[in-house]
């Protein structure tokens, strides 16, 4: 939509109203870049806000020439925070516990289930993420509103602003109702192109900002069979080995089977000259991640494939990116978490409290390995430690193979691995990513590597859909309603991780879910 606006000579300005954005920093950075291309083409962008929190203020500051807040609204510029809920004692009161084996000193995806407070390693990783995320917020508001960084830090300490206070602080330019903002835009733009006066084109906005960001890749309509084009493949949600219909919601699981098919199709199609792998995933199944890595690596051996990291591309999400020709991340992307964990939930205490008595009969020393009614035996734990360490070593080798010469050996990868989580801008300095940028930057790089023109067609390959999506079939209204259900993404992904744990014990998943607020 924004690209169409940029190319349309009849459009001389935009008026954008920003509502509540339930999204992450990187998607806002993508939108700021997209609006930036519109502004550089000579169009002026007017933005209206009601009550703006960090995310909405960051978008308004970076994307708009003029920011207006409604008289009854305000700005809540409060800084960044993350809550980690520890459930060991709560689960213990129910007779439930988690049994865990890990590879990587910082790798403990189930720490909230095994502790009552942060370990020093989690506190260090999360603190570093908070520092970088806070810096992105300060820098974005300071640059967008042309304020000194020290001033913005002071404003963040104040936190809450009524409309007049926000204007006095330089966070907004005016206090107006939406109709008054439209009038202002028409008045200021009236003399630019006389023939446009009196015309107003309305474009419906996306219900969800992630849909708008995804639309930057183009409409999911395939080009003609022999037409050279760019393919965009999405890895969204917890990575699983299952079928593409796994899970209830479309955004909670990335099926290795479906993604392998999509990548193989892109590899075999002679008209597909380059591929962008768009990743927004905290990881998941280690074997499934390796399957996707293999498909990515096979594409790389035939044509350029550029990994584009969204809010999160960590653990298994980084694993699949490691096979790409180049990796592009936003400064606030959460990535790294290179490590492996094996875990199971043990409910023996709960069964005893409920009067449930379980007897097991097995043949083979390891036959009862996955039983939820007991912890692992010493022999089972040693065996799991061995296989977990082996998978971790494979993960390190995959990264070394893809990142060389920047990180050429397994030993060098281990220095930045051990389950540590990094922001995109730190990952750049460590050699884990090649450059900073958003989806459009990754697409431009892929087009250049594939010798494609900027105007080439874009194919968005079919994505896995959830059970609800399959039930409603192709009805766009019903599918949009499902996507708008008020189930927070962290909750969806937590449910998907628990579901995954029921099927697989070897996980490459991030140790905590970070939600920017």
Q: How far apart are CA 271 and CA 137, in angstroms?
A: 41
pLDDT of residue 376: 87
Q: Give residue 111's pLDDT.
A: 81
pLDDT digit string, tens, across residues 295-304? 999 999 999 9
Between helices 256-268 and 286-300, what is the axis angle to 10°?
A: 10
pLDDT at residue 463 tops 70: no
Residue scoring higher pLDDT (8 or 452): 452
- 185-187-193 Cα angle (round to 5): 90
pLDDT at residue number 485: 47
- Please choose, from the candidates 54, 107, 76, the residue with its C-alpha nearest in 3D space to the C-alpha of residue 336: 107
Q: Which residues pair with 174 in a beta bridge?
A: 68
In this structure, are residues 138 and 153 in contact, taking their beta carbons and an 8 Å threshold?
yes
350 versus 324: the higher-pLDDT residue is 324
Which neighbouring-strand residues pair with 75?
Answer: 52, 161
DSSP, res 204: P
Q: 3-state SS of 60-73?
A: HHHHCCEEEEEEEE
pLDDT of residue 36: 86
pLDDT at 39: 84
pLDDT at position 466 over 50: no
pLDDT in tens, 143-154: 999 999 999 999
Rounded CA-CA distance 348/130 in Å is: 38
Rounded mean pLDDT, 400-409: 88
pLDDT tens digits, 406-441: 888 889 999 999 889 999 999 999 999 999 999 989
**Residue 510: pLDDT above 60?**
yes
Whether residue 170 is predicted with pLDDT greater than 50 in this model: the reply is yes
Give the CA-trace dihedral at 478, 479, 483, 486, to 10 degrees.
20
Q: What would the two tokens of residue 516 be?
A: 């920017």
Residue 499: per-residue pLDDT: 57
pLDDT at 405 over 90: no
Predicted local distance difference test score (pLDDT) of residue 514:
54
Query: Average pLDDT in the 442-452 region?
Result: 96
Contact 156, 26 (CB under 8 A): no
pLDDT at 471 over 80: no
Alpha-carbon distances, residue 91 vs 12, 87, 116, 180 (angstroms): 59, 6, 11, 55
Selected residue with higher pLDDT from 87 and 180: 180
Which pLDDT band holds residue 512 (cuts at 50, 70, 90)?
low
Confidence of residue 210 (pLDDT cuts 50, 70, 90): low
Q: Which two tokens stand for residue 362?
A: 């097995």
Q: What is the mean pLDDT of residues 33-40?
A: 84
Looking at every residue in the chain, the average pLDDT score rounds to 82
What pLDDT is stored for residue 504 in this prediction? Answer: 53
Q: Indicate if the pLDDT at residue 190 is higher than 80.
A: no
pTM of the model: 0.81
Task: State the pLDDT at residue 224.
Answer: 65
108 pLDDT exceeds 50? Answer: yes
Q: What is the pLDDT of residue 350?
A: 86
The per-residue pLDDT for range 212-258, each reduced to its tens digit, is 555 555 544 556 667 899 999 999 988 988 654 444 444 567 889 99
> So what's the pLDDT on residue 492?
54
pLDDT band at 137 (very low <50, low <70, confident <90, very high): very high
Looking at residue 145, what is its pLDDT? 95
The model's confidence at residue 165, banded by pLDDT at 50, 70 and 90, is very high
Dihedral class, residue 473 (left if φ above 0, else alpha if ψ from -120 to 50, else beta): left
pLDDT of residue 316: 93
Q: What is the pLDDT, as a whole number, of residue 12?
A: 78
Buried b (16+ CB within 10 A) or exposed e, 350-384: bbeeeeeeeeeeeeeeeebeebebeebeeebeebb
**Domains of the chain and CATH, by start:** 2-78+159-197 (3.90.226.10), 217-339+418-509 (3.90.226.10)
pLDDT at 206: 44
**pLDDT tens figures, 341-360:** 888 888 888 888 888 888 78
pLDDT of residue 243: 59
Lowest mean pLDDT among 24-38, 246-260, 320-334, 485-499: 485-499
- The model's confidence at residue 262, banded by pLDDT at 50, 70 and 90, is very high
């Amino acid at each position: 939509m924004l690209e169409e606006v940029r190319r349309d000579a009849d459009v001389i300005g935009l008026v954008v109203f920003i509502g509540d954005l339930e999204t992450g920093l990187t998607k806002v950075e993508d939108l700021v870049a997209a609006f930036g291309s519109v502004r550089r083409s000579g169009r002026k962008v007017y933005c209206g806000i009601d009550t703006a929190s960090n995310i909405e203020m960051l978008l308004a500051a970076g994307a708009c020439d003029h920011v207006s807040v409604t008289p009854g609204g305000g700005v809540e510029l409060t800084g960044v925070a993350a809550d980690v809920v520890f459930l060991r004692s709560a689960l213990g009161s129910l007779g439930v516990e988690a049994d865990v084996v890990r590879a990587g000193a910082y790798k403990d995806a189930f720490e909230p289930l095994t502790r009552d407070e942060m370990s020093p390693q989690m506190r260090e990783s999360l603190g570093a993420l908070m520092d970088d995320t806070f810096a992105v917020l300060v820098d974005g508001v300071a640059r967008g509103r042309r304020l000194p960084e020290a001033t913005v830090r002071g404003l963040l300490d104040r936190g809450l602003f009524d409309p007049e206070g926000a204007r006095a602080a330089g966070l907004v330019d005016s206090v107006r109702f939406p109709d008054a903002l439209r009038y202002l835009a028409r008045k200021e733009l009236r003399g630019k192109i006389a023939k446009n006066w009196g015309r107003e084109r309305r474009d419906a906005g996306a219900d969800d900002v992630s849909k708008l960001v995804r639309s930057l890749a183009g409409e999911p309509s395939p080009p003609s069979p022999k037409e050279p084009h760019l393919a965009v493949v999405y890895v969204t949600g917890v990575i699983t080995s299952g079928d593409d219909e796994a899970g209830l919601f479309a955004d909670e699981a990335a099926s290795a089977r479906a993604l392998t098919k999509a990548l193989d199709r892109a590899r075999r199609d002679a008209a597909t000259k380059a591929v962008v792998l768009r990743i927004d995933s905290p990881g998941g199944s280690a074997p499934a991640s390796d399957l996707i890595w293999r498909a990515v690596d096979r594409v790389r051996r035939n044509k350029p494939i550029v990994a584009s990291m969204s809010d999160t591309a960590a653990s298994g999400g980084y694993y699949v990116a490691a096979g790409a020709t180049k990796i592009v991340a936003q400064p606030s992307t959460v990535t790294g978490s290179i490590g492996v964990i094996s875990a199971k939930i043990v409910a023996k205490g709960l069964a005893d409290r409920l009067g449930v008595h379980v007897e097991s009969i097995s043949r083979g020393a390891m036959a009862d390995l996955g039983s939820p009614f007991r912890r692992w035996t010493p022999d089972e734990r040693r065996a799991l430690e061995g296989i977990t360490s082996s998978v971790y070593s494979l993960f390190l080798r995959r990264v070394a193979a893809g990142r060389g010469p920047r990180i050429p050996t397994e030993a060098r990868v281990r220095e930045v691995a051990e389950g540590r989580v990094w922001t995109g801008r730190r990952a750049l300095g460590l050699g884990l990513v090649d450059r900073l940028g958003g989806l459009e930057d990754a697409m431009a790089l892929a087009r250049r590597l594939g010798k494609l023109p900027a105007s080439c067609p874009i194919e968005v390959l079919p994505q896995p859909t959830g059970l609800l999506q399959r039930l409603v079939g192709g009805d766009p209204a019903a599918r949009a309603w499902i996507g708008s259900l008020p189930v927070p993404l962290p909750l969806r992904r937590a449910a998907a991780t628990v579901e995954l744990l029921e099927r697989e014990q070897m996980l490459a998943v991030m140790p905590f879910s970070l939600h920017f607020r």
